[in-house]
A = this chain, B = another copy of it.
Amino acid sequence: MLKHIHKILFFLLIFQPLLGQNDKHQKQIQEIYKLALTEGKAYNWLDHLSNQIGGRLSGSLNAERAVKWGKEELNDLSLDRVFLENVMVPKWVRGNFEYARIITGPGMSMNVPVCALGGSIATPAAGLRAKVIEVKDFEELEALGEEKIKGKFVFYNRAMPADLINTFDAYSKTVDQRSSGAAKAARMGAVGVIVRSMNLRLDDYPHTGNMRYGDLPNKMRIPAAAISTNGAQLLSSMLALNKELYFYLKQDCRNFPDVPSHNVIGEIKGSEFPEEIIVVGGHLDSWDLGDGSHDDGAGIVQSMEVLHLFKKMNYQPKRTIRVVLYMNEENGLRGGTTYAKNAQQNGENHIFALESDSGGFTPRGFSFEANPDQFKQLESWKPYLEPFLVDRFTLGGSGADIGPLRNGKTVLAGLRPDSQRYFDYHHAANDTFDAINKRELELGAAAMTSLIYLVDQFGF
């Protein structure tokens, strides 16, 4: 048995390099990489989106400027069709101020960096002053009981675990504090929540992100803010010394009725199987604190680059390739759900959808939602991607915006860049263009274009 394994592995080792030198698909992929790294548009596009437009929360003027820009840029690519898809989106506005202080005695206070969580209500106009109870998780909250919670801020201070290699795993183990911490605490009588930022570093940036009150009645809703990791460490240390200290929070964020916005869509019609649609996309909206360069400006320009590179190489796809710049991933997913609903109503056949929404860092592979036969086929393409170091394929997970296309047949995929730095910037004021490395961004675009090329050539 072992002997057989060695022979077969030897055969595979010998075979793969040969493939690289003689195969026409390998040559196309080499061309894709060369163009992406030398004549790509992704970096300059992102410069514009980040620096000329900036943060673009759903419902904001900037989000509409981004829609207009995306449509114009896609028009310039001479695609077969560019159009907008109507989407109604939530509108939440951060307002004019947000600040917080730890108060340890009369006239003795320290400012700490905070920001309102997306969807949160404001504090009363005079701000909110209350004692603080620190917890690690919902179990600890429940165990404390209402009487110890009532009238206080609940301070969720569970740090992202540093020892998980994939930082998204660390995120998913802690993000419940942010998304549903306020609703849980409100039901136990808390007056507000302060949530440790989802950030593996110790620094002074508060990280925003969506929170939901769920079915909590309006009058029970309480304000929710994120505190920077350094701020969280400080507050925790001070609480250890003095449980009776007060926290003061003032924020004037506000929810408005839904407003109209758009997904931006462009496509190249397939020459052989035009009814088989391949989607590549990211989300055009971003949080408002930074300029959303990694989340998800990177995914937007990488997705646009796929069609740009195909045009540049004069590649005529067999199947219809569609780029979708989704609106409203961050606080509603309305773009993704609307796109999937319309696709179903129009009887469209999506064979594959790929999303880039994990930052513009060096790509290491892809994750897939696929059945065993589909995954077997995907894995057969690894030799094409191995020379470019993007052959780490995993099963499970794709992207939020394409999730609504899930139907058991359509293969869904996500670009998987190196995750180590992502949460240094995610949803914070430092998610800006200077945190983007040009080559890393371009390598992601090239990896995506290569995968889409293979899907187009071979189908499922």
Cβ of A252 to closest chain B Cβ, rounded Å? 35
**A163 close to B440 (CB less than 8 A):** no
Q: Which residues of chain A from 390 to 441 have a CB within 8 Å of any chain B CB?
A: 392, 418, 420-421, 424, 437-440
Cβ of A42 to closest chain B Cβ, rounded Å? 13
**B362 close to A389 (CB less than 8 A):** no
A200-B440 Cα distance, complex, nearest whole Å: 12
Q: Is A136 positioned at the interface, with any CB of B under 8 Å from its CB? A: no
**A421 close to B437 (CB less than 8 A):** yes
**A163 close to B5 (CB less than 8 A):** no
Q: Is A4 positioned at the interface, with any CB of B under 8 Å from its CB? A: yes
Main secondary structure, interface of A, reads: helix
Interface residue tally of chain A, by bracket?
A: 20 to 34
Q: Is A308 positioned at the interface, with any CB of B under 8 Å from its CB? A: no
Q: Is A8 positioned at the interface, with any CB of B under 8 Å from its CB? A: yes
- The digit string for A342-360, where 1 denotes a CB below 8 A from any CB of B, is 0000000000000000000
A275-B200 Cα distance, complex, nearest whole Å: 42
12 pairs of residues in contact across A and B, judged by CB atoms under 8 Å: A8-B8, A37-B163, A38-B163, A165-B387, A167-B439, A201-B438, A364-B364, A389-B392, A418-B418, A420-B437, A420-B443, A421-B439
Residues on A close to B: CB < 8 A?
Answer: 4-6, 8, 12, 33-34, 37-38, 162-163, 165, 167, 200-201, 362, 364, 376, 387-389, 392, 418, 420-421, 424, 437-440, 443
Taking A8-B8, A165-B443, A420-B443 as known contacts, 12 extra A-B pairs with beta carbons closer than 8 A to each other, sorted by chain A number, are A4-B4, A5-B8, A34-B163, A37-B163, A162-B439, A362-B418, A362-B420, A389-B392, A418-B418, A420-B440, A421-B437, A424-B437
